[in-house]
Amino acid sequence: MEKLTLQWDMPHTLTFVRSLLPNRLIATLEIVKKANQTMTIEFEGYTFEDIEHAWTAQGRAWNELVVENTVKKFTALRVIWLPHGRCLQWHVLHIQDKPFDAFACTTLTKELWETTF
């Protein structure tokens, strides 16, 4: 497999390709709105199979942890829970339907998140 592309009920996509460095993936999140945004990160320790398994395990959709929606602003924290105590985090900030988002691979675990409530 040369690349893995995840799609969900929005026009956005998340595509993974192998890095030139061993044991690393490059992930590109493309946001399609009034203005488009593309964010790329590189992270280590995962395979296409790990990503596909995590994505399938949560119903082939982002897990929304926080959502706030007003007339002019939409914010959300969306995650894909990965094995080995990490997650892909998509911090959504749309102002007047234009994206100002951020994307990262972090050490936040589902267990830690669930114990904060």
Q: What is the rounded CA–CA span in Å between residue 60 and residue 54? A: 8
Cβ density class 46-71: b for 16+ within 10 Å, e for less: beeeebeebbeeeeeebeebeeeeee
Task: Please check whether residue 17 is in contact with residue 25, taking contact to mean a CB–CB distance below 8 angstroms.
Answer: yes
pLDDT tens-place string over residues 89-112: 999 999 998 999 999 999 999 999
Q: What is the rounded CA–CA span in Å between residue 65 and residue 62? A: 9
The secondary structure of residue 81, as a DSSP letter, is: E
* Cα 67 to Cα 74, 92, 101, distances in angstroms: 8, 9, 14
Nearest to 21 by CA among 48, 50, 37, 42: 42
Of all residues in the chain, what percent carry a pLDDT higher than 90? 91
Does the predicted TM-score (pTM) go above 0.85? yes
With 90 as the cut, is the pLDDT of residue 1 above it? no
